[in-house]
Structure 1
Amino acid sequence: MRHPRPDDPDLPLADLMTRWPQTVPVFVRHRMLCVGCLVSPFHTVMDACTEYDLDEEAFLAELMQAADPG
């Protein structure tokens, strides 16, 4: 069985924030309304980056750092 990772392109945002709650401040820091959004079970990081005009690679790096700071 494959273990999900924060950078999984198919991982819905709701699942990402549930599994790695320490990533929530990354969304808040970027003033993203993804936390608690009704669409978060359907949107991915790529969708959110497109919506907020963010560099996906840089944003994913922040998420990965937050999810595993060690």
Structure 2
Amino acid sequence: MRPQLENPDLAIGDIMDIWPATIPVFLRHRMLCVGCLIRPFHSLSDACAEYGLDEETFLRALREAVQDDDPSAPRPT
């Protein structure tokens, strides 16, 4: 069973490995997480705090990327 994208403890590295479609979202926000050696240890909360991003807004962008990549994925309400 796949972990949930919304899991606050899920590491950035896991997010990118499980949902590669999220990588462009990190790049669009000029985040260096894609090549970072710490990505297996940083959570989404950690990265958003580090880059001064609103976590809910960024999570929404990640969800959209995942859904665009998988049309069978449930849509948020």
Considering the TM-score relative to the shorter chain, is it more than 0.5? yes
Structure 2 distance, partners of 1:32, 1:57, is: 16
Identity of aligned residues (%): 55
Supply the RMSD in Å over aligned alpha carbons: 1.1
Q: Using CA pairs under 8 Å that are at least 6 residues apart, name the structure with larger relative contact order, 1 or 2.
A: 1
**Residue 67 of structure 1 corresponds to which residue in structure 2?**
66
1:32-69 deviation per Cα after TM superposition (whole angstroms, max 9, x unaligned): 00002100000011000000000000000000111122
Larger Rg: 2
For structure 1, list consecutive stretches of 5 or more residues without a partner in the other structure.
none
By percentage of residues, which structure has more helix? 2
Q: TM-score, normalised by structure 2?
A: 0.84
For structure 2, list consecutive stretches of 5 or more residues without a partner in the other structure.
72-77
How many residues in Structure 1 have an aligned counterpart in Structure 2?
A: 69
Structure 1 distance, partners of 2:55, 2:32, is: 16
**Residue 20 of structure 2 corresponds to which residue in structure 1?**
21
Q: TM-score, normalised by structure 1?
A: 0.92
